[in-house]
């Protein structure tokens, strides 16, 4: 049996089975679906409804979804600090993971599509030559990791194992980038593997490898994603901007057994959140 570290290094993905049991997955789905319905009616961060065909919402742990003491926040916070997920993050990152963000993936309500084949590197670099050079030099995917926890059975994530270690073959390039990506939703990607998860399983993929998601109205998808960064390399952006952690009433709802995990997050970002609030008041 290949150990998770070797699988991640050579294949660019790893699956951890039964991170949570079926009953926990079912309870979390109820909690997250309630947040999703609120988000579709009104995203508390924008004041606008979430789209019917949206496939992801951010910040499941936003206090607006659990106002007036509504239950479920503690469950979401415990999931993001689950020892099995933290250990998997530690293996992948090579050091202690720090919390960054929660997300929720769902199937669209009206319009189905197979996602586009991509590497995250194409959004991180200004042109194809720079992207190719970065990948041939070994890339840089070690600062963070996204762990997807299926709350219902799912096989909506697809990747080309090992592609994070090299650039595209001619056949891969023809689908991913040729002609402005005109064929990037093709179902003919050579060597593609669809990751099959049962409720409670978790998966991580190297985002520099060739991958995509599937978003169909008739294929239920409910996946909670936990994002970590290296403790030594925090990222100050939208995803880590969660000033509600400064509210004593919110912090009081953090379960005592996972409080040290979130204390590290709060200490790292508190000044950033305060400066963001000051800047917004001055605008």
Q: Are 204 and 142 in contact (CB under 8 A)?
A: no
Does 223 have pLDDT greater than 50?
Answer: yes
pLDDT at 166: 95
- Residue (of 166, 250, 222, 278) closest to 34 by Cα position: 222
Instruction: Over range 73-92, report the average pLDDT.
Output: 97
Asked whether residue 96 is assigned to any structural domain, the reply reads: yes
Helix/strand/coil for 87: helix
Give the mean model confidence (pLDDT) for residues 156-172. Answer: 96
Is 155:114 a contact under the CB 8 Å cutoff? no
Instruction: Kindly tell me if the per-residue pLDDT of 281 is higher than 70.
Output: no
Predicted local confidence at residue 143, as pLDDT? 84
Q: Is residue 244 part of a domain?
A: no
Enter the DSSP assignment of 49: P
CATH of the domain at 228: 2.60.120.620
State the Cα–Cα distance between residues 11 and 3, nearest whole angstrom: 12
Task: Output the average pLDDT for the chain.
Answer: 94
17 has a pLDDT exceeding 70: yes
Q: Does residue 95 fall inside a structural domain?
A: yes
Residue 245 falls inside a structural domain: no
Per cent of the chain over pLDDT 70 is: 96
pLDDT of residue 140: 60
Which residues touch 152 (CB under 8 Å, ≥6 apart)?
A: 25, 29, 199, 220, 221, 222
pLDDT at 44 (0 to 100): 97
How many domains in the chain? 1
Residue 142 has pLDDT above 70, yes or no: no
Question: Contact 266/254 with Cβ under 8 angstroms?
Answer: no
Question: CA 137, CA 119: separation in Å to the nearest integer?
Answer: 15
How far apart, in whole angstroms, are the C-alpha atoms of residue 255 and residue 252? 8
- Please compute the mean of the pLDDT values over residues 60-73 and round it to a whole number: 97
Q: What is the pLDDT of residues 128-137, one digit of tens each?
A: 999 999 999 8
Given a cut of 50, is residue 80 above it in pLDDT? Answer: yes
In a domain, 273, yes or no: no
Q: Does residue 252 lie in a domain region?
A: no
pLDDT band at 283, cuts 50/70/90? very low
The parent domain of residue 28 ranges over: 4-234
Helix (H, G, I), strand (E, B) or coil at 193: strand
> Is 241 within the bounds of a domain?
no
State the DSSP string of 94-156. SS-EEEEEEEEEE--SS--EEPPPB-THHHHSSSHHHHHHHHHTT----SEEEEEEESS-EEE
pTM equals 0.92
**Is residue 212 pLDDT above 90, yes or no?**
yes
Identify the pLDDT of residue 239: 96
Flag whether 193 is in a domain: yes
Q: What's the confidence (pLDDT) of residue 259? A: 98
């Amino acid at each position: 049996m290949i150990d998770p570290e070797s699988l991640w290094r050579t294949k660019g993905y790893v699956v951890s089975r039964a991170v949570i049991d079926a009953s926990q997955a079912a309870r979390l789905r109820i909690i997250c679906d309630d947040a999703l319905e609120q988000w579709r009616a009104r995203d508390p961060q924008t004041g606008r409804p979430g789209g019917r065909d949206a496939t992801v919402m951010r910040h499941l742990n936003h206090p607006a979804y659990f106002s007036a003491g509504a239950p479920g926040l503690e469950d979401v916070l415990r999931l993001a600090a689950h020892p099995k997920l933290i250990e998997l993050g530690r293996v992948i990152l090579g050091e202690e993971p720090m919390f960054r963000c929660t997300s929720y993936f769902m199937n669209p309500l009206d319009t189905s599509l197979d996602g586009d084949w991509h590497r995250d590197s194409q959004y991180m670099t200004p042109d194809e030559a720079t992207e190719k050079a970065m990948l041939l030099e070994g890339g840089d995917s070690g600062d963070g990791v996204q762990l997807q926890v299926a709350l219902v059975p799912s096989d909506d994530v697809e990747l080309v194992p090992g592609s994070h270690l090299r650039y595209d073959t001619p056949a891969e390039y023809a689908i991913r980038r040729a002609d402005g990506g005109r064929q990037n939703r093709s179902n003919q990607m050579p060597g593609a593997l669809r990751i099959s998860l049962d409720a409670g399983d978790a998966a991580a993929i190297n985002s520099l490898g060739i991958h995509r998601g599937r978003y169909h109205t008739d294929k239920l998808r409910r996946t909670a994603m936990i994002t970590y960064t290296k403790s030594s390399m925090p990222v100050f952006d939208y995803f880590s901007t969660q000033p509600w952690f400064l509210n004593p009433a919110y912090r009081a709802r953090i379960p005592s057994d996972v409080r040290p995990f979130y204390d590290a997050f709060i200490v790292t970002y508190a000044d950033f959140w305060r400066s963001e609030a000051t800047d917004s008041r001055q605008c």
